[in-house]
Chain A
């Protein structure tokens, strides 16, 4: 088994895949977003609670591979308590980490782990699925 792949999965992904953060349907949330990749069928619902321009909480539910599930879990964990403006910056930051053109290193271990996804181009969309859904939500609410 490939070492790079083991590294990608071992550090952060398996942990979040097995114990995802806020993995439940929270139907009362102020916003519900869909993160869906029609090509592979991964589909998560994001329950985003926003109050006074601040993300109070993000819950999620659905199905997808370990990478998309872990990346959504990392999103939920890292964006809680952030203002919409801060959330936007974090979305960009995450995008930088997985961008094949970027060599930017990120201090957050939970972000940095996904950099290894760059070696598996077929899986990049798994890493970015929920982040892109959140990003377009933030753009709409700008």
Chain B
């Protein structure tokens, strides 16, 4: 049923652009009608600011806002809804942890570990923290195929390491990292670990309690929800120990001119009026996803990826970047004589939306000694016919440039 014409009808974008071949879901997913309607409905019929409001609308909105927190907790398997912090997205979630959790406990000479395939969002916040404290950011190596070197990782987990931050699924390589093992190995040494779930939350079953990770982050817009809303999951003990990141309204307990005490987590991390409509939309996105078996989604997307790889590999002068053992439905590739931006422009005129560039993973591009790749990424509204069309168009581009 995924990828069929009738399934695609749930996504209004395909009614407005009937010929759109959207292969850029790793950047952002398209939105189902129920999410769009949910947000519209909220603004048309329910809009009020949350908390403190005494009148009915405000009370109802507050109740909805908080009930989505419970929904998110159940969706990712958190034990308690107070472990769910609303943020503007994965980037903000990671910045919060780097600032409020790591910085106070990081000292000169300490180490922080990230993998070689991190998105800039899970690299630069740690880089900045290390620079500020004179600590060292160390990079867990990968092999040419894009697999994490677990033996090297094990050796790197020394007493100096204060934090590990690893991406669950690489947005560039499609690698599904062995986070279960990585979390366990970090914990054997008593080291906290953050998992960047930006690419995994839409398509993989997530259970933070059984994973036992210390922090988990994801963005609403990559799981069929709106932009500008994201989640930080943190273990209750960590969130309780962390200081607020931003200060202002809604995050306080008591305030005088000279002093303030703060609300407990998660409210102390949600200063000011947050993205309420975003939260409502996120709730609808989770409702949308909960209609389906997460394992079936993962399998569908993975099979599309495998099919695309097989078809692309039948072309000459094309190299796939990222050939790890466990992969999802993302394919990065380079053509011998055509730059990725030219590929993307030509595909664009054929209504095929792919991404071209460094995908916010510049150090990874350096590792593979390439400036950029073209990337096709798949979701539940895609199908094999679209991949066949993509491959035919790439053939056409190759012959055009070969002249």
Residues of A at the B interface (CB closer than 8 Å) are: 1-2, 4-6, 9, 14, 39-43, 63-67, 69, 120, 122-123, 126
Contacts and interface: CB of A to CB of B under 8 A. Distances in A.
B179 to A, nearest CB: 29
Contacts of A41: 357-358, 362, 365, 371-372
A10 to B, nearest CB: 8
Given A41-B357, A69-B339, 13 more contacts: A1-B400, A5-B349, A41-B371, A41-B372, A64-B339, A65-B342, A66-B338, A66-B339, A120-B345, A122-B345, A123-B341, A123-B345, A126-B341
A57 to B, nearest CB: 26
B301 to A, nearest CB: 27
A55 to B, nearest CB: 27
Interface string B326-366: 00000000000011111001101110000011100010010
Contact of B350 (A1, A6, A69): A1
27 contacts: A1-B396, A1-B400, A2-B346, A2-B350, A6-B400, A9-B342, A9-B400, A14-B401, A39-B357, A40-B356, A40-B357, A40-B372, A41-B362, A41-B365, A42-B341, A43-B371, A63-B371, A64-B371, A65-B339, A65-B341, A65-B342, A66-B338, A66-B342, A66-B401, A120-B348, A123-B341, A123-B345
Contacts of A9: 342, 400
A43 to B, nearest CB: 7
A30 B338 CA distance: 32
Contacts of B1: none
A1 B349 contact: yes
Contacts of A5: 345-346, 349
A120 B340 CA distance: 15
Contacts of B339: 63-66, 69
Interface of chain B, main secondary structure = helix
A65 B339 CA distance: 5
B403 interface: yes
Nearest to B397: A1
A67 B342 contact: yes
The 5 closest A-B pairs by CB, nearest first: A2-B349, A65-B341, A65-B339, A63-B371, A41-B358
B59 to A, nearest CB: 45
A40 B341 contact: yes
A2 B393 CA distance: 11
Interface of B: 338-342, 345-346, 348-350, 356-358, 362, 365, 371-372, 393, 396-397, 400-401, 403
Contacts of B365: 41
A72 to B, nearest CB: 13
Nearest to B340: A65
Nearest to B400: A1
Contacts of A123: 341, 345
A8 to B, nearest CB: 9
A105 B95 CA distance: 49
Nearest to A6: B400
A68 to B, nearest CB: 8
A142 to B, nearest CB: 33
B40 to A, nearest CB: 29
Nearest to A2: B349
Contacts of B371: 41-43, 63-64
Contacts of A40: 341, 356-358, 372
Contacts of A69: 339
